[in-house]
Amino acid sequence: MRNIWTIARRELRVYFTSPIGYIVLAMFAVMFGWFFASSLIIFARVSAQAAMQPGVEGLNVNQYIVQPTLGNCTIMLLLTMPLITMRLFAEEQKQGTIELLLTSPISDYEIILGKWLGGMLLYCCMLLISLLNFSVLLFYAPLDWRAMLVAYLGLLLWGGTMMALGGFISTTTTNQIVAGSISFGLFLLLFVLVWAQSYSQSSLGQLAGYLSMPPHFDQFSKGVIELKDATYYLTAIGLGLFLSKRSLESVRWKA
């Protein structure tokens, strides 16, 4: 565990000693702030209209602000996560430092988990920035914090899946741009696969819908944890880490 944590801290330090970490955080903060402000404006307008109608109860803040904003957050991750994952292993291979890691007394899984955890720490910084926006609502409207925490758990699983799959892609190339581009293409495919269910009800269409990531986040965004959704993300994370392990073994043999 100590080796994993050491590698994770090293990865996090590298992100903030280069422009990547600051660019990712700035991009995410601006985009999230825009979506949050848009949801807030819509909520204010709908609330004003509802207040003019007698007998209409107060609107649900989580439904009108939290859920749409966090749903849009998954779109932001399509743009920001490839920037995080593209350098995990590709940069090490390009600079030749991957050989130092592979010949050190550290197992492949410790290297992979350490780098995955380092990327996740940066991702957690992004989520903390998003929480600052929602903290404003404490002064104006009641929030269902339990439902919100479940939604953030879903985002953690979503980000962990992207980090694991993007990390695997990063092990297959020495070019960060290539790794980032392929990761973006894969993440986009996993995002839109659910569209297949709208024009095909066959078993293939149902499979495509199941492999898509957004449907498994829907219940999390509503504050509900379903075993099948958690299993999907955990399985995808495990698959990504396993493929990274096998890919790293091939790099070791080539070296």
Contact 37, 130 (CB under 8 A): no
Instruction: List the domain boundaries for the chain.
Output: 2-254
What is the distance between the alpha carbons of residues 170 and 89, in angstroms, rounded to a whole number?
A: 5
What confidence category does residue 109 fall into, taking pLDDT thresholds of 50, 70 and 90? confident
The share of the chain scoring above pLDDT 90, in percent, equals 36
Q: Report pTM.
A: 0.89
Question: Which residues in the chain belong to E strands, given as ranges?
Answer: none
Mean pLDDT of 153-177: 92
pLDDT tens for each residue of 212-225: 898 999 899 888 89
User: Angle, to 10 degrees, between the axis of helix 67-85 and the axis of helix 214-221?
Assistant: 130
φ/ψ of 172, rounded to 5, equals -95, -5
Structure tokens at 74: 């998954």
C-alpha closest to that of 220 among 147, 151, 167, 174: 151
User: For residue 25, what are the CA distances in angstroms to 30, 80, 176?
Assistant: 9, 9, 19
In the three-class reduction of DSSP (H, G, I as helix; E, B as strand; rest coil), residue 255 is classed as: coil
DSSP 53: S
C-alpha 135, offset from chain centre: 21
Query: How buried is residue 57: exposed, middle or buried, by Cβ count under 10 Å (0-12/13-18/19+)?
Result: exposed
User: Angle, to 10 degrees, between the axis of helix 214-221 and the axis of helix 227-254?
Assistant: 130
Q: Quote the pLDDT of residue 249.
A: 80
Question: First-to-last CA distance in the chain?
Answer: 26
C-alpha closest to that of 84 among 180, 188, 190, 185: 180
Contact 11, 119 (CB under 8 A): yes
DSSP 105: S
What confidence category does residue 55 fall into, taking pLDDT thresholds of 50, 70 and 90? low
b/e per residue, 71-86, with b = 16+ CB within 10 A?
bbbbebbeebbbbbbb
In the three-class reduction of DSSP (H, G, I as helix; E, B as strand; rest coil), residue 1 is classed as: coil
What confidence category does residue 248 fall into, taking pLDDT thresholds of 50, 70 and 90? confident
- Judged against a pLDDT cut of 80, whether residue 117 lies above it is answered with yes
- Judged against a pLDDT cut of 60, whether residue 58 lies above it is answered with no
